Amino acid sequence: MKKLLSMFTLAILLAGSVLAGCSKDSSNGTNSHEAKVQTDIAGQSSTTGDITINPEIPGNQQILSKGPNGEQAVSAKTLKLTQKEIAKIKAGKYKAAIVMHYAGNDWSTAQINGLKATFDRMGIKVVAVTDAQFKVEKQVSDLETVLAKRPDLIVSIPVDPVSTADAYKKAAKAGIKLVFMDNPPAGLKAGKDYVSVVSADNYGNGVAAADIMAKKLGNKGKVGVIYHAADFFVTKQRTEAFEKTIKEKYPNIKIVARGGITDPNKTEIVASGMLTRNPDLDGIFSVWDVPAEGVLSAARVFARDDLVITTIDLGTNVALEIALGGNVKGLGAQLPYDQGVTEAMLAGYSLLGKKAPGYVAVPSLSVTKDNVLKSWKMVYRMDAPGVIQDAAKKH
C-alpha cells in the first residue's frame, strides 16, 4: 500500500537499513521490523501490575474529537484493568479475533501488536487475525470464517460501515462482544450491539497539523488541502479540524485549493494539478501519510523544495522526511499501539460486565523534527529505525 519515495538520496539512505529493517524474513514471511516489535511485545507480556495505556502519554491534554454520533470522547488515560480484574478474565479462558480492513501498514501493525500484547496479559487467546485488503466482500467473508471459530470477542474496523453492517449484526446476535476501531457499522448502537469505539483524537491531530503549517509559513500564505473523498468519519474529522483551525486561528493563511482522493496512490496526480493551477502555493495538507508521499513526489517534480507539507500519522517515509529536514515539516500522530491496548481493555470491561464508555480516544501527538525520535518510540513502543535516527542526527 505504501507508495515508494523516488528521491535518489533517499534510496541510498535506505539501502543499508532497509535490508535490516524492512526486508522479508525468508523463514517465516515476517519482516524484521515487525519481528523487532513482536520481540518487544513478548517482553512486555510478562509484566505484572494494572493494565493502562502508556503512562508517558500526557493525561491533562484535552480530547477535541467527538464520536460518530456526536458523543463526547472519553480519554483512554482514564481506563484501567486491575490485577484482580485481570485474574478474573484469565480464569474465563476467552478467545478473541482481530478483523482488519487492511493489515499491511505501520498503523495496522501497531494496533495488532498492542491488541496481542494486552490480550496475552489477560490470558485471552487470539484465534484469528484477518486482512480484508480494503475489500468489502472479503471482510464479510472473513467475518463468516471468524464466526466459525466461536470467539468471545471481535475487535475490528469496517471497510465500509454500511455494506458490512449485516455481518457485524450477525456477530452481535451470536453474543460476541464487539469493539471497533475508529468507525462503527451503520445501525449498531454502543452498549447494545457493541461495546465501544476507540480512535485517536483525530480532530486534535488535524489541529496539530494546522499549527505546524502556520508556524512554518510564518502565519501567512496560500495552502491547499488534499482530503479523503469517502464517507469515513475519522478522515473527515482531520480535514475539518485543519481547515477550521486555519480559517479561525490564522486569518492571513488562505486555503485556495482543495482536492479529493479515494486511491491514496493517485495523490501525486491531484497534487500536481494543484501545483500547476496554483504555482504560488506555499503549503499542502494531506489527510494521512500515504497520500502525503504523493504530495512529496509532486513537490520534487516541480522542484518545490520550499513547499511545506503537513499530514497525519507517523509512517516510516514521512518520519524520515521530517528527520531529513525535507518538505514534510511535521504532523499529528496517532498512537496506534495504545489504541490497541485500549481496545483490548474495553473488551475486558465487557467480559467483566464493567460499564464502558461508548467512544474513547487516545490523545493526539504533535511531531516535528525536534521530537521525531521520541515520538516514534511513543507511537510504536520501540526505537526508530536506524535510517531515521541517522537522518535526525545529521540534519
pLDDT (tens digit, 9 = 90+) per residue, 274-285?
A: 999 999 999 999
pLDDT of residue 25: 31
pLDDT of residue 304: 98
Task: Report pLDDT digits (tens) over 211-224.
Answer: 999 999 999 999 99
What integer pLDDT is reported at residue 47 of this predicted model?
66
Of 285, 219, 298, nearest in space to 256 by CA: 285
Q: How confident is the model at residue 36 (pLDDT cuts 50, 70, 90)?
A: very low
Instruction: Read off the amino acid at residue 137.
Output: E
Of 8-17, 67-76, 333-342, least confident by mean pLDDT is 8-17
Give the chain's domains with CATH numbers.
Answer: 35-200+336-363 (3.40.50.2300), 202-334+368-394 (3.40.50.2300)
Task: Please report, as a single letter, which amino acid is at residue 285.
Answer: F
User: Cβ distance 244 to 203 under 8 Å?
Assistant: no
Instruction: Give Cα separations from 180 to 130, 344, 387 (angstroms).
Output: 14, 10, 34
Matching residue, cell 488541502 = 225
DSSP state of 307: -
Between 23-37, 101-115, 161-175, the lowest mean confidence (pLDDT) is in 23-37
Mind giving me the DSSP string for 171-221?
A: HHHTT-EEEEES-PPTT--BTTTBSEEEEE-HHHHHHHHHHHHHHHTTT-E
In the predicted structure, residue 126 carries a pLDDT above the cut 90 = yes
Give residue 104's pLDDT. Answer: 81
Say which residue, 50 or 14, is predicted with more confidence.
Answer: 50
Spell out the residues 6+ positions from residue 40 whose beta carbon is closer than 8 angstroms to its own.
381, 382
| Three-class SS state of 395 | coil
Grid cell listed for 186: 451503520
Closest among 47, 113, 143, 81 to 352, alpha carbons compared: 81
Q: How far apart are CA 258 and CA 249, in angstroms?
A: 19
Which of 40-54, 102-116, 277-291 shows the lowest per-residue confidence on average (mean pLDDT)? 40-54
Instruction: pLDDT band for 80, please (50, 70, 90 cuts).
Output: very high
Q: What is the model's pTM?
A: 0.81
| pLDDT (0 to 100) of residue 68 | 82
